[in-house]
Amino acid sequence: MEQTQSACHIHGGEGGGQPVRKSHHSDEMKANLINRLNRIEGQVRGVKGLIEKDTYCDDVLNQIASIQSALNSVGKLLLEGHMRSCIVERIQSGETEVVDELLTTVHKLMK
């Protein structure tokens, strides 16, 4: 997996509301993620077309498995960057509750 360069930033909420956490990814990482997601989007449209054409179910299921794998790869890249930057920064600043947040996210990803 490639290294990511991202950092979490906190922006004030609108009208005194809760602060909004944002991530800052390098232009290279953003382009990588967007390219991957564009390919996934195309694959999903392709599956829709296969279903419309009554393509053999096993062929459609194999395409769906490919899409799931591609989404998992995007998730892994984001998770790695998140852990290397946002999580580390927040733990270093004393926000240990971020570990619970991370565990909840990892559990969702592993479903």
Rounded distance between C-alpha atoms, residue 39 and residue 70, angstroms: 9
Give the residues across from 11 on adjacent strands: 20
pLDDT per position as a tens digit, 68-101: 999 999 999 999 999 999 999 999 999 999 999 9
The structural domains of the chain, ordered by start, are: 27-109 (1.20.58.1000)
pLDDT per position as a tens digit, 9-42: 565 555 556 667 777 788 999 999 999 999 999 9
